[in-house]
Amino acid sequence: MLAEKNILIGVTGGIAAYKIVEVASRLKKSGANVRVMMTKNATEFVSPRTFQEITGNAVSVEMFGDAANFHVAHISLADFADAILIAPATANFLAKMAHGICDDLLTTTVLACDKKILVSPSMNTKMFDNPATQANLEILKSRGVKILEPATGNLACGTSGKGRLPEPIEICAELEKIFDSGTLAGKKILVTAGGTVEAIDPVRYIGNRSSGRMGCEIAKSAAEAGAEVTLIAGKIEVEPPKNVTVIRVESAIKMREEILKIFDSVDAVIMSAAVADFRVKNPAAQKIKKSDETLTLELVKNPDILRELGTLKKNQILVGFAAETQNILDYATKKLVEKNLNFIVANDVTAEGAGFSVPTNIASIIWRDGNVENFPKMKKSELAEKIIERVANLLDEKKFFPVNDV
């Protein structure tokens, strides 16, 4: 994927700069045309000559020095690059980059570049955790800069913690990813997350234990795979991912309304929301005062949104979830068929390491032909990737089930 690509590596002044020699070498071996730009401080750690020998190209350091036949170095190298990798990125460099300061060749080049940028921070844990650094990283992320999280381990300053530069092979893999337009490029995916909130009165509601973690991870994974993602979220305990359109709803009725507005235009729906099956028939307009010893609420059935989508679907892929506490396979299979889904993700919410509010899940994917994939306990983010991988395959193969295949 990196063959023929023009990669500009910006090396800043951190001890991990030596690891970038291997990064440059790997990129060169994979067929990329690599140029290196160093800050003055970086040259204290590694000689420009080392990078020059490895890449076969002159290394730029000085703003006004010999820039190896480039007339305006910061513009020409910014134009040359298909992507820029900044590694290691010091706290100082991140701060300058976040605020558009350009006081040397590298900061100026980065500001003049509208291509993809991958930043690999490396520093002392306290510097990394400092709210100033974290805020700068947030600014960069919000502008579409990809940040490679530092690894945890022994640091050059003699301490141990988060802040190590990841291994060269990981940096190269991450760089490859930014050229991958993704398995869902050009696809529109609708994901629902969290629990619906059904009003009792202006103060109270009927809710459920869904945290929205799984749905948010799925939305994130779909966006990373290149899809245009809409996340319709009920009550969630986590931050929705960036780069997705978020529509917040409360009730099942509202969630249905928002889903139906865009259902025709999407390629797949992944319904991970915990939709309340019942709502209060007549929510009180004013706060209910305690009076009698008991209070009776009349509940009426909510629409089964997924079932309705199953009857409406044309070419869309439909994925459901079944959060069960017993007879998981039987109940989930019944939902898979009755709701006309392509596959269903089932899990036992009472199992340790699965279910609500935990970052892991133990799930099975059940297919229409009876095939069952049982996964071990894994992070919700990993399960999300598996789900997205399968949705992408289905969209790719156009293995659609006939309409009304119930």
Q: Which residues bind ligand CTP (CB under 6 A)?
A: 252, 271, 273, 275, 277, 302, 304-306, 320-323, 335
Among 166, 101, 94, which Cα is nearest to 133's?
A: 94
102, 113, 157, 216: the active-site residue = 157
- 3-class SS of residue 246: strand
Is residue 108 within 8 A of residue 102, CB to CB? The reply is yes
Strand ranges across the sheet with 33-38: 33-38, 6-11, 83-89, 116-121, 146-147
CB of 196 to ligand CTP, least distance (A): 8
Tokens of 406: 């119930």
Tokens of 198: 């059904």
> Tokens 């002392």 appear where?
124
> What is the rounded distance in angstroms from the CA atom of residue 136 to the CA atom of residue 130?
10
Phi-psi region at 69: left, alpha or beta (left = phi > 0; alpha = psi -120 to 50): left
Angle at CA 230, nearest 5°, toward 229 and 236? 115
* DSSP one-letter code for 18: G
Q: Which is nearer to ligand CTP, 93 or 321 (CB)?
A: 321
**C-alpha 172: how far from its chain's center?**
19
Q: Which is nearer to ligand CTP, 322 or 366 (CB)?
A: 322
Q: Which is nearer to ligand CTP, 85 or 319 (CB)?
A: 319
Q: Any catalytic annotation for residue 172?
A: no
> What is the rounded distance in angstroms from the CA atom of residue 303 to the CA atom of residue 282?
16
> What is the rounded distance in angstroms from the CA atom of residue 40 to the CA atom of residue 61?
6
Among 305, 306, 275, 270, which Cα is nearest to 383's?
A: 270
Q: Which is nearer to ligand CTP, 189 or 273 (CB)?
A: 273
Q: Which is nearer to ligand CTP, 154 or 327 (CB)?
A: 327
Residue 382: partners with Cβ closer than 8 Å, 6 or more residues away: none
* DSSP one-letter code for 353: T
CB of 123 to ligand CTP, least distance (A): 43
CB of 325 to ligand CTP, least distance (A): 9
CB of 39 to ligand CTP, least distance (A): 51
Whether the upstream peptide bond of residue 303 has omega within 30° of 0, thus cis, is no
Is residue 341 within 8 A of residue 405, CB to CB? The reply is no
CB of 373 to ligand CTP, least distance (A): 17
CB of 99 to ligand CTP, least distance (A): 43
For residue 127, count CB atoms less than 10 angstroms from its CB and return exposed for 0-12, middle for 13-18, buried for 19 or more.
middle
Tokens of 165: 């530069």
Tokens of 57: 């190209």
Q: Which is nearer to ligand CTP, 13 or 355 (CB)?
A: 355
CB of 305 to ligand CTP, least distance (A): 3
CB of 284 to ligand CTP, least distance (A): 23
Q: Which is nearer to ligand CTP, 113 or 268 (CB)?
A: 268
Q: Which is nearer to ligand CTP, 33 or 302 (CB)?
A: 302
The catalytic residue positions are 157
